[in-house]
Amino acid sequence: MRLKFRAWDKNRKVMRTVNVISFVENVAGLIDGYTNSLDNLIIMQSTGLKDVNGVEIYESHIVKERWSNQYGEHERTQVVKWNEKTLGWNIFNPIATSTSMNYEIIGNIYENPALLKGDEHETI
């Protein structure tokens, strides 16, 4: 898997696609040809997974997770995060994804913070 990154530009309040990251120079090269200091960006890594619409899922996306089992159909909303305990993405469950689990991106925590409000929101 090729590592892919995107970044939230804290100054311009926009999501940017990252081409290259230089930790030595503390900058990220962006797809539009510009560079920006890592201090002004929040870097997010791709999970390597795609949602039900074929859109690549990145860290900090808000996803609607749907699955079914012998007890019925279920749904929850959560933020995509790296899990330090399992050393994997919190949305990746090999047992569940091999059956009927799917994800749909409904936003991200920077552009759609209102989606985080409510009792159904869960972060694992």
pLDDT digits over 11-63, tens only? 999 999 999 999 999 999 998 888 999 999 999 999 999 999 999 999 999 99
- C-alpha 79/C-alpha 34 separation (Å) is 29
pLDDT digits (tens, 9 = 90+) for 62-106: 999 988 878 888 888 999 999 999 888 888 655 454 455 789 999
How far lies 85's CA from each of 40, 48, 81, 124, in Å?
Answer: 28, 19, 12, 11
**Sole residue written with tokens 């560079």:** 35
Exposed (0-12), middle (13-18) or buried (19+): which is 23, by Cβ within 10 Å?
exposed
Question: Tell me, what's the pLDDT at 92?
Answer: 61
Residue 29 CB neighbour total at 10 angstroms? 15
